[in-house]
Amino acid sequence: MKGLKTFKMGGVHPPGKKYLSENKPIKNAVISNLSVVALSQQLGSPSECIVKPGDEVREGMLIGKSTGFISANIHSPVPGTVKEISDIYLANGMTSRAVVIEMEGEFDRLGKEESKTSWDNLSSKELIEIIDSSGIVGLGGATFPANVKFSLPKGKKAEYLVINGVECEPYLTADHHLMIEKSDQIIEGIKIIASIIKPEKLAIGIEANKPDAIEVMKEAALRADLSLDVVGLEVKYPQGDEKQLLKAITNREVPSGALPIEIGCVVSNVGTVHAIYEAVVLGKPLIERVVTVSGGAIKNPQNLKVRIGTPISSLIEECGGFTEKPVKVVVGGPMMGFTIYDLDTPVTKGTSGVLALTSKEVKGAAQTACISCGRCIAACPMGLNPTTLFKYIDHTDYDSAESIGLMDCKECGSCGYVCLARIPLVQGMRLGKGMLRAKKVKA
* Count of residues touching ligand SF4 (by CB under 6 A): 28
Give the DSSP per-residue string, 334-396: TTT-EEES-TTPBP-TT--EEEEE-TTTS--PPP-------HHHHH-TT---HHHHHHHHHTT
* Interaction of residue 387 with ligand SF4, rule CB under 6 A: yes
Q: Is the Cβ–Cβ distance between 192 and 224 less than 8 Å?
A: no
Question: What is the DSSP annotation of 153-192?
Answer: PTT---SEEEEE----STT--HHHHHHHHSHHHHHHHHHH
Q: Which of 149, 307, 410, 433 binds ligand SF4 (CB under 6 A)?
A: 410
Among positions 37, 206, 331, 409, the unique one binding ligand SF4 when judged by CB under 6 A? 409
The nearer residue to ligand SF4, 343 or 421, going by C-beta atoms, is: 421
Among 93, 255, 374, 434, binds ligand SF4 (CB under 6 A): 374
Out of 148, 246, 329, 425, the only residue in the binding site for ligand SF4 (CB under 6 A) is: 425
**Up-side HSE of residue 76: CA atoms within 13 Å toward CB?**
28
- Element (DSSP H or E) covering residue 95: strand 95-103
- Cβ proximity to ligand SF4, 220 vs 376, nearer residue: 376
Q: Does 307 bind ligand SF4 (CB under 6 A)?
A: no
The helices-and-strands tally (H runs, E runs) of the chain is: 13, 17
62-65 and 48-49: which strand pairing? Answer: antiparallel
Contact 63, 99 (CB under 8 A): yes
- Provide CB contacts within 8 A for 305, sequence distance 6+: 26, 27, 28, 29, 288, 289, 290, 291
Distance CA 396, CA 297 (A): 38
Is position 420 an interface residue for ligand SF4 (rule: CB under 6 A)?
Answer: yes
Return the range that interacts with ligand SF4 (CB under 6 A); candidates 73-81, 167-175, 202-210, 373-381: 373-381
Q: Which residues contact 440 (CB under 8 A, 6 or more apart)?
A: none
Q: Which of 120, 257, 372, 440 binds ligand SF4 (CB under 6 A)?
A: 372
* Binding of ligand SF4 by 415 (CB under 6 A): yes
Contact window for ligand SF4 (CB under 6 A) among 19-27, 279-287, 342-350, 424-432: 424-432
Question: Restricting to residues 311-370, which ones interact with ligand SF4 according to CB under 6 A?
Answer: 370
Measured from the CB atom, the residue of 255 and 321 that comes closer to ligand SF4 is: 255
When asked if residue 61 is in the footprint of ligand SF4 (CB under 6 A), the reply is: no
261 lies in the site for ligand SF4, by CB under 6 A: no
Rounded least distance, CB 226 to ligand SF4, Å: 34
Tell whether residue 426 is a contact of ligand SF4 (CB under 6 A): yes
CA 439 to chain centre: 27
Q: Which residues bind ligand SF4 (CB under 6 A)?
A: 370-376, 379-380, 382, 384, 386-387, 409-415, 418-421, 423, 425-426, 429
